[in-house]
Amino acid sequence: MRPPTLIAIGCLAATLFCAACNSVSEGVAVIPVRPRDVVDFSSLYNQNCSACHGENGHDGAALDLANPLYQAIVDDASLKKWITNGVPGTEMPAFGESAGGFLTEQQVDALVAGIRANWPKSSAAGEPPPPYVANLHGDQKSGEQVYRDACISCHEKSGEKISDPSYLALMSDQSLRTITIAGRLDLGQPDWAHDRPDHALTNEDVTNVVAYLASLRSATPGQPYPNATK
C-alpha cells in the first residue's frame, strides 16, 4: 500500500497536468484575430458604419444604405470609392488604408459585398430614375423653382429646412443628388418619382435643384449670420 503522502502528490500532479492540457487547448481555441484580418461583414459594419447609417442600414443620421432605390442607382465602384476615400466636404471619413484609414482593401471589398448581399436593389418596373452621377450642368435659377414646386412644402419647417447654409456646408453635391433621387424612406422623405404630385422629377430637375441648394452653402458654417444682432 502506498503512503498517503505519495498518493496525494500523485493526485496533485495529475490535476495540474490536466489543467495545463485544458489551458493549452482553450488557448488555441481563443486566439484573437488581428483587427486587419477581420473580413466578416457584420463585424466590420457594426464597428465602422452602423453608428451613422443605422444598425440595419436605415434609421441613422446618414444615408439609409438599405434603401432599395439607392442600391439600384449606385454601383460597386462608387461604394468602394466612398468607403475608401470618404466624401469630401461631409462627415463621411476615409476608412481605407490608402487614404489614411485603418481598413484594408480586402475589408473594404467585404463591406461592399455585404452591403449588396444584405440590401438588394429595387426591381420595380417603370421609368428609370435619373443617373446617380450628374451628366448635365445645373441651372441655379431653374433649380430654385423646382425647389419651390417640389420641396419647400415639407422643407420649409425649421426642423427640416435643408436650405440652411450651415446644413448644406455638411452635404456634398453628390449627397444632395442621391437623396433627391432615392429619398430617405426611413424618414418618410419621398423619392424622385413622388416628390411632385403631378409628375416625377426629371434628370434636369434633380441637377438644377442640387445646383440651387449648393449655391446657398455657407463659406463659414456655424458662424453668426450676417444679419445676426450683436
State how far the Cα of 73 lies from the Cα of 178, in Å rounded to an integer: 9
pLDDT band at residue 228 using 50, 70 and 90 as cut-offs: low
pLDDT band at residue 154 using 50, 70 and 90 as cut-offs: confident
Residue 19 scores a pLDDT above 80:
no
Residue 189 lies in a domain: yes
Cα torsion 197, 203, 206, 208 to 10°: value is -120
Considering the domain architecture, whether residues 167 and 107 belong to the same structural domain is answered as: no
Considering the domain architecture, whether residues 158 and 199 belong to the same structural domain is answered as: yes
State how far the Cα of 135 lies from the Cα of 200, in Å rounded to an integer: 18
Residue 135 scores a pLDDT above 90:
yes
- Whole-model pTM? 0.79
For 118, the grid coordinates are 444584405
Residue 40 lies in a domain: yes
pLDDT at res. 81: 97
Residue 16 lies in a domain: no
Residue 125 lies in a domain: no
Q: Domain boundary at 118, 148, 169, which?
A: 118
Q: Which of 17-21, 33-37, 127-131, 222-226 has the highest mean pLDDT?
A: 127-131
More confident residue, 139 or 220: 139
Residue 226 lies in a domain: no
Considering the domain architecture, whether residues 112 and 39 belong to the same structural domain is answered as: yes
Considering the domain architecture, whether residues 44 and 90 belong to the same structural domain is answered as: yes
Q: Domain boundary at 118, 153, 177, which?
A: 118
Q: Residue 189's CB: how many other CB atoms inside 10 A? A: 19
pLDDT band at residue 8 using 50, 70 and 90 as cut-offs: very low
Residue 206 lies in a domain: yes
Residue 223 lies in a domain: no
State how far the Cα of 1 lies from the Cα of 131, in Å rounded to an integer: 91
Domain range for 76: 35-118
Residue 2 scores a pLDDT above 50:
no
State how far the Cα of 187 lies from the Cα of 201, in Å rounded to an integer: 20
CATH code at 161?
1.10.760.10
Residue 71 scores a pLDDT above 90:
yes
Q: Is 160:154 a contact under the CB 8 Å cutoff?
A: yes
- Tally of domains in the chain: 2
Residue 27 lies in a domain: no
Q: Is 96:103 a contact under the CB 8 Å cutoff?
A: yes
Considering the domain architecture, whether residues 72 and 107 belong to the same structural domain is answered as: yes
